[in-house]
Homo-oligomer: A and B are copies of this chain.
């Protein structure tokens, strides 16, 4: 392991000069700088990040905390976040809370001590707990608006509205919304958007749930949906929607012939079902990248002013699970 001392000795300057040649190019003479960089190259010197971290107090790494990596939604966000971080020379530590709020708090605190900041995805903690943690460690929330904490929100409301208008345009008059986790911000958004559109256009919306937002929930609900006499199902997310699809098929209901089904998220599987699931595609990649950029911005400029909240717009993706309302 070659150190800054080796480089300094090699080209007969002090370590300070080497350090500067690398970090502050215009504080050393051009010619010495060149000499140093050549030596760096020749000796294959790479700064020791740990030592740098100890000295500067910055680790150049961030934490990324998710409820569960088993939920196909989060790995996508993580992938984007990791890519963005990497291109800015930041490392990403990952933490999986298994949907447990206590584990989440614990993870944020312990991680907080070895990273510069933490991106917390869809936190299960109460607002006040997040605020408390945010005083100790720099936090950016994803899909959870917390006053005073910077965040990135993957909008879905606009997409749900669009889907609703589309279905209404196809003649649908009786909808059912399947609620996801009760205290989820996203659920409120989606439910609200559908309700608003119903009011505006004058169609009916029944409700089911809340459920935990798994495939099995959708399967279990399908028979009841079949009995409700609705022609359109808007589910909290794709997992539920795919479950409904499977359940309806078992029940002998045709999709989209008798009932149209729409999900939210646009996870990989949505494109793989038969019929392929129409869904509100949420900006996972943009949000993942935006979250780390926002976090770095927070770290960089100790900017005062209110915490920023970014919103990434959704798009409605029409596939085969939606069609004209039955006569």
Nearest-Cβ distance from residue A126 to partner chain B, whole angstroms: 22
* A114: chain B residues within 8 A (beta carbon): 49-50, 61, 91
Which residue in chain B gives the minimum CB-CB distance to A243?
B272
Pick from B50, B72, B243, B269: contact of A59, CB below 8 A.
B50
**With A and B bound together, what is the CA distance between A48 and B68 in angstroms?**
28
Known contacts A215-B271, A272-B215, A274-B274; decide if A78 and B94 are in contact (CB<8 Å): yes
Binding stretch for chain B, among A79-87, A139-147, A183-191: A79-87
Shortest CB–CB separation between residue A214 and chain B, in angstroms? 10
Taking the closest CB of chain B, its distance from the CB of A197, in whole angstroms, is 29
Cross-interface CB contact of A246 among B78, B215, B272, cutoff 8 Å: B272
Chain A 51-75 per-residue mask, 1 if CB under 8 angstroms from chain B, else 0: 1011000010100100011101011
Docked pose: A257 CA to B95 CA in angstroms: 44
Query: Could you tell me if B274 and A272 are in contact, using CB atoms closer than 8 angstroms?
Result: no
B75 to A69, Cβ gap below 8 A? yes
Please state the number of chain copies in the assembly. Answer: 2
In contact, A94 and B96 (Cβ under 8 angstroms): no
Contact bitstring A239-263, B, C-beta under 8 A = 1, else 0: 0001101100100000000000000
Of B48, B96, B272, B274, which is within 8 A of A82 by CB? B96
Can you offer 9 A-B residue contacts whose CB atoms are under 8 A? Answer: A68-B79, A69-B75, A69-B82, A70-B79, A78-B94, A91-B114, A92-B93, A272-B273, A273-B273
Q: A72-B72, A269-B272 are in contact. List 11 more A-B contacts (CB 8 A).
A: A49-B113, A50-B59, A69-B78, A69-B82, A70-B75, A70-B268, A72-B75, A246-B272, A246-B274, A269-B269, A272-B273
